[in-house]
Amino acid sequence: MEQIEIIKRDGTVIKCYCQEPFCTPTSAVQETTLMSDDTVKITLRTTQLYKFGKGDKVVINGYTYKIRTTPERALQTDEDYIHTLTCYGVLYHLMKCQYRNCDANGNSTKAIFGLTYSIKDFIKVAIYNLNRDNPGEWAFDEQNCPDTEPITVSFSKNNVLQVIQNLCGKDKFNLEFRITTENGINTIHIGNFGSVVTPPSGATHFEWGKGD
């Protein structure tokens, strides 16, 4: 298994494969579903206590996953600790951002409103909202987005992830979305990206590392 590194908020790097002080992952699972799950769950066995916290991160295949919830910790013996970390990908930002009638300057007046837009214009509003909360971090692949007829949709204090999932539903535009990250910029892509890759042997998720 490749080396896994936990990068703490202060910049300290903790190598998850280490002999002294002893640290090894007993499980490391990445769960990714198109337009839905995007998490990495790591269980570490260590001989010393680590204080992991919200904002600590791990980079997997070029994508950053951050701890957003309080890590679990269990003491087996005086020198045997089990740490369980759940790290969230960029979809977390969509869940935390409210979809408002936001313009390109970040100005908005309502969280309950309706729009008659094409998919491109709906996604532009999503980008305006995301950049309102995280300036300069979000972009839209407008050039490769399909052209659609406008439809009317009402919104009531929804978050951005709920809105995009709804817009891509079969009863709306019947499309898919994905997010790529490059040089610190998260780009939303809209289109038809093919079937979701299914894990082998009937599993419900991919395991990219597991050991004792």
Pairing of strands 80-88, 63-67: antiparallel
pLDDT single digits (tens) 104-153: 999 999 999 999 999 999 999 999 999 998 899 999 999 999 999 999 99
Sign of CA dihedral 148, 150, 151, 153: positive
Q: What parts of the chain have a pLDDT lower than 70? A: 1-2, 33-37, 194-212
120 and 149 Cβ atoms separated by less than 8 Å: no
Backbone angles phi, psi at 140, to 5 degrees: -125, 130
Q: What per-residue confidence (pLDDT) applies to 154? A: 97
**Burial (CB count within 10 angstroms: exposed 0-12, middle 13-18, buried 19+), residue 151:** middle
